[in-house]
Structure 1
């Protein structure tokens, strides 16, 4: 049997999850110096989650000049929490001319390392090199920066003109953020016409736009279509829609969708299910899902959990949640916490919240409410709003 046939056999064993047999064959081929064997072995180990074993194999492949190892090794570094090292690795790969490496470096710095200055440099490099999708991704990146909306739209239009259907979807998202659902639909329908991955990003946005325009039957059709197409987030999206707009019968469908979304690990599923349960007065279940949402990184759940705990008389736990929400940057939590303090007879502590409220962008009206509700010493005037 030729080395090519042996390598193909090892790949088949790996695909069948017969990893021990595959590993034995891969190691034999690596020992014989067969090109590609080390990368495929490392990839198998990485996909199985055996990152400590995968890393040295992939580094060996890289040292031997097999640039296919870069992306797999990058995956391993990210999975083991070494994000900056992963970013630098892809910069090295880009320096060696590996296709797509500059764009991946940009995404790592933007989305994982949160170094937007470095990310922008690599987005521009990726565009200069003609990396597929770079213009769209850069436009989406720009759209996240306050004050750069016009620049984002210009870049996304350029991407759309070059045939990137995802750019239409991102242009639609910008219009939704601006509160222009009708304009959003124009872009989103073009994205939908592009098919492929652009369809998955457009369906839920179209459902959102139709809902905002009051076209509830159309919104429901797009939610159903997204669920049938197994779009990530579709169950949570339809569940939220039905919980708000549906009939009593639809609430049963909503709950099934919420449970499916939680089971599938859809983004925000525990939080949205918790709000649904709270609205149904199923408080104990709601608390459980709010806590799960917090464990998954949803700092938006703290305040709502705090309000439930406050109503149940669990004041110490409620206060911990209020302060966590404020630390996470939620202005509404500052105002809710002020009410909590007043209810606890601790109104004298309320004025100390004002600096944080200002930091979080409180309006004059919100500051006035914060100040006006604070206790006033007899003989003193209440503080004036700015």
Structure 2
């Protein structure tokens, strides 16, 4: 995270507004910061626009920044283009980021390829990301074999091979494999180890386990709420889905609307499904 002391005066002013959830007020100040060539202003503006659901605006900011030589923003452009289902731009942006030496972009590109069902390419890219030391790539590779290819034995083999406290998400991946094999006590043990290591999205995954395998609704909701408290990526969709399944649609709408207001595209899509004509106001 960039400190307010590491950026220009205008960007720092806008960042303070973001901290107060005044995102719309921050936008013109960030545009002025870009005009003044303040460092990091382009990235912060793109994120701000994303969080107020202006993905097209965020995309254009990043296109301009990358065109001016800020290749370190190419991977973020890939993420935004992916959200917009602009596959051509997403792929070219990820490749540009990788060519510029952004090793984290390998994992992002692998996830993108997986989402497009280009599994052989995704496997190759994720293996390269693992070799480069990416923290999430091993778990994503295990999930590909587990969720997409339904090769449980291979998924378990890979999860055990890459299991490491230096990469906590591998504990989540192995726990999910054990859960699918109905080795529930072993799965529980790995989830608890993953919780202790503060693994990526661990509360959501543990919640899904408690819900689907243990039928522990109270425990599952507690974990979903912890995912929200920890701002885990995708918490809004998962908690909203859980509440819908419990026929708590009013609560689900509030959760999904809140997540959507912060740029969660999947939460916004689910909100549209359950309330296509609704206009939910979010009080920040």
Instruction: Select 2:30's aligned residue among 34, 42, 58.
Output: 58
Q: Distance in 1 between matches of 2:176 and 2:193?
A: 13
Q: Does 1:131 align with 2:102?
A: yes
Distance of aligned partners of 1:245 and 1:67 in 2 relative to their CA distance in 1, 3 Å threshold: closer
1:213 is matched with which residue? 181
Highest Rg: 1 or 2? 1
Q: Distance in 1 between matches of 2:81 and 2:270?
A: 25
| Pairwise CA RMSD | 3.3
Deviates more, 1:117-126 or 1:234-243: 234-243
Aligned partners of 2:126 and 2:141 also within 8 Å: yes
Deviates more, 1:40-49 or 1:157-166: 157-166
Instruction: Select 1:100's aligned residue among 59, 62, 72.
Output: 72
Q: Distance in 1 between matches of 2:270 and 2:26?
A: 37
Cα offsets for 1:51-82 (capped at 9, x unmatched) = 23322222222112213211111122212322
Q: Distance in 1 between matches of 2:241 and 2:227?
A: 14
Cα offsets for 1:223-242 (capped at 9, x unmatched) = 22334445465444334434
Higher-RCO chain (CA-CA 8 Å, sequence separation at least 6)? 2
1:185 is matched with which residue? 156
Instruction: Select 2:219's aligned residue among 249, 256, 260.
Output: 256
The normalised TM-score by structure 1 is 0.58
Cα offsets for 1:108-138 (capped at 9, x unmatched) = 1002x22112111111111121123112211
Distance of aligned partners of 1:103 and 1:270 in 2 relative to their CA distance in 1, 3 Å threshold: closer
Q: Distance in 2 between matches of 1:169 and 1:130?
A: 22
Deviates more, 1:128-137 or 1:221-230: 221-230
Alignment of 1:1-386 (within 5 A): 36-111=8-83, 113-146=84-117, 148-177=118-147, 178-193=149-164, 195=166, 198-199=167-168, 201-231=169-199, 233-246=201-214, 251=216, 254-262=217-225, 264-265=227-228, 266=235, 267-272=237-242, 275=245, 286-288=246-248, 290-293=249-252, 296=256, 297=267
Cα offsets for 1:271-313 (capped at 9, x unmatched) = 33554xxxxxxxxxx322x45446624878999xxxxxxxxxx
Aligned partners of 1:87 and 1:109 also within 8 Å: yes
Q: Distance in 2 between matches of 1:131 and 1:61?
A: 25
Q: Distance in 1 between matches of 2:239 and 2:100?
A: 39
The normalised TM-score by structure 2 is 0.76
SS of structure 1 residue aligned to 2:136: helix
Q: Distance in 2 between matches of 1:234 and 1:117?
A: 32
Shift of 1:171: 1.1
Distance of aligned partners of 1:125 and 1:38 in 2 relative to their CA distance in 1, 3 Å threshold: same
Q: Distance in 1 between matches of 2:184 and 2:240?
A: 25
Unaligned runs of 5+ in 1: 1-7, 12-34, 276-285, 304-320, 325-386
SS of structure 1 residue aligned to 2:70: coil
Q: Distance in 1 between matches of 2:241 and 2:52?
A: 27
Cα offsets for 1:228-270 (capped at 9, x unmatched) = 4454654443344344544xxx84xx51341452475334124
Shift of 1:143: 0.8
